[in-house]
Amino acid sequence: MNLKERQWIIGAIFLLIAFIFIGRLAQLQIFSSDLQDYAARLTQEREVLDPARGLMFDRNGELILDNKAGYDILFTPRLCQLAGGMDTLALAKLIDLSPREIHKAIRRAITYATYRPSSIRKQMPASEYAAIAGELWRFPGIQSRRRSIRTNESGLASHLLGEYREVDRDDIESNLGYRLGDYKGKSGLELQWESELKGSRGVKFHLVDVRNDYRQSAQKGALDSMPKPGEDLTLTLNMQLQAYGEKIMQGKRGSIVAIEPQSGEVLAVVSAPSYGTDLLTGRMRGTHYDSLLRDPNKPLFNRTMRATYRPGSIFKMIQGLIALDQGLISSQTRIPCNRSVIGCHGGHTNDNLEDAIIHSCNPYFHEVMRRMIQPRTASNIFAEARDGLSSWTTAIQRFGLGTDLGGNFPGLRSGSVPDTTLYDKLYGRKRWAYSTIYSISIGEGELLTTPLHMANLAATLANRGEFRTPHVIQSVGSNGKPVGTDSLIQTGIPPELFEPIINAMNAVTESSEGTAPLARVPGIKVCGKTGTVQDSKGNHSVFIAFAPADNPKIALSVYVENAGAGGDWAAPIASLMMEKYLMGDVQQTDKELRVIRATYPFANAIK
């Protein structure tokens, strides 16, 4: 091969290489977005704009849950390195961190990303930030970001409202758009209505120089979008009644749930002891949470929806209604108080239905349920008991017991209404009969209810056999659709059969033989029923009621743990709540003072 041919070959090789480079450059710059994206990351900053979270109001428009200004202190490691470092101890003192905390935060920021800012101090209150803002310029790589802090200044209804805090790994990996450092509802209504409350983010693009300093908007703001605020929630709560309930339950363990019978709207939901939701925000959240978690009185536990108790004597009214409906008794049916069958108290001997409710006669309702479960018409007592219990369980559940009450409440336990499956598991198939399970006839045994279920029972009795599923959200957004207005549930028992039960409930509070004279409200006809629920640390005081009798406006349940008989403490608390709601003010000052002074344990409480 001569020299000229070699020159042509070498020239062709160089030409080919040149074409390859030109083609690749064209592909990168014209047809591919990879290089453009890389260049954009070098010069264009993407700022996420967080939306304002939706607020919560009570039924009268009173603000319950608000947002207040707060600030995160951010650190960008690369900017600090370019400036030659900074005095970390001085920074720690300025933003109120210990030397150990500041060094840990800086190491975490470096691990996360050297070019991107990450938080080293979160949720600094606006007043605290204002005092230090003028000094932040002295620390290279330090900047601030405004963020909203959730606040419930009244501290009321904390268990219901729930907690709003930083997302965890599960949230980030859920593909719901959460990023490191975001906040979301983690319990209560904050969690249940997260998608409506959180709104949607906006984004703003701007150009920055090599020092990450802002220069100008990218493409004159054409790519920017504004955040959309979250929707507000209007709750059914009456915050004046809620505040009063929490006031009179201070120092006690228990709950109050109040419902407007006609609508199913929850007026108050008090779990005692309680806590302020603002304790679980900011940098001291961990300390406060640990303290609340260790408290033996369990202030974090929502007793209104999570605590389950046996219904006790209050359950006898449901037994009577079902037996009336099935024609097994009439309102005038008398049953001897045979205390050799089951224990009882008081001087009564041969009650009819109304008197049996007033006296809370155990043998009466033992016999009533036997007629439902074991009528002794079949030769096989085991099969007869199974058939009887199956229909009984269905009838009980029509009152909402053993159900989620429509699913409107986060974390609500359904309680327990025993059925054949449960007893087959406990005793074996064909090995149990009524004599095995009779304790449920008087509201004991395997029956379990929550205070919310019992308040709903009071509303069902007030409505003479029907209820709207209880709910705490009245509307969503400025033009939101009302919630729960089309959810009428029928027990299937005719309204006229409720009259002897209502008469007995009124006599419980007003007759000389009644067990709850302390439930009376001057000028108002009150219907109620006491319950005394057994517990190893002392009986729970329980009471359900509604008022006025002929046009009910409020129905409620009250539980006071380890406080004794239902008429001693739960009944007067119910009286004060009904007076507060119906009259606007409480005139029974002696009763109010007695209740406020009484605290757990009740062994030495004022009688």
Per residue in 363-384, pLDDT (tens digit) is: 999 999 999 999 988 889 999 9
Two tokens, residue 458: 């009071």
Cβ neighbours of residue 168 closer than 8 Å, sequence gap 6 or more? none
Decide if 369 contacts 434 (C-beta within 8 A): yes
Rounded CA separation 34/392 (Å): 70
Q: How confident is the model at residue 42 (pLDDT cuts 50, 70, 90)?
A: very low
Q: What is the pLDDT of residue 425?
A: 94
Cα–Cα dist 325/327, whole Å: 5
The phi-psi region of residue 542 (left if phi > 0; otherwise alpha if psi is between -120 and 50; otherwise beta) is: beta
The answer to whether 239 and 58 have CB atoms below 8 angstroms apart is: yes
Task: Report the CATH fold assignment for 46-235.
Answer: Penicillin-binding protein 2a (Domain 2) (3.90.1310)
pTM of structure? 0.86
* % of the chain with per-residue pLDDT over 90: 58
**What are residue 563's DSSP bridge partners?**
none
Is the domain 239-273+302-331+345-475+482-604 a CATH 3.40.710.10 member? Answer: yes
Average model confidence (pLDDT) across the chain: 88
Cβ neighbours of residue 2 closer than 8 Å, sequence gap 6 or more: none
- 213-222, 269-278, 311-320: range with lowest mean pLDDT: 213-222
Note the pLDDT of residue 536.
84
The ranges assigned to domains in the chain are 46-235, 239-273+302-331+345-475+482-604
46-235 and 239-273+302-331+345-475+482-604, same CATH topology = no
**Residues 454-480: tens digit of each pLDDT:** 999 999 999 999 999 999 999 998 766
Checking if the pLDDT of 6 tops 80, the result is: no
Residue 181 pLDDT: 77
Confidence of residue 62 (pLDDT cuts 50, 70, 90): very high
Q: What is the mean pLDDT of residues 324-341?
A: 96
DSSP E strands, 152-188: 164-166, 183-185
**Lowest pLDDT segment from 42-56, 127-141, 382-396:** 42-56
Q: Which residue matches tokens 């620390």?
A: 139
Instruction: Note the pLDDT tens digit of each residue in 231-240.
Output: 999 999 999 9
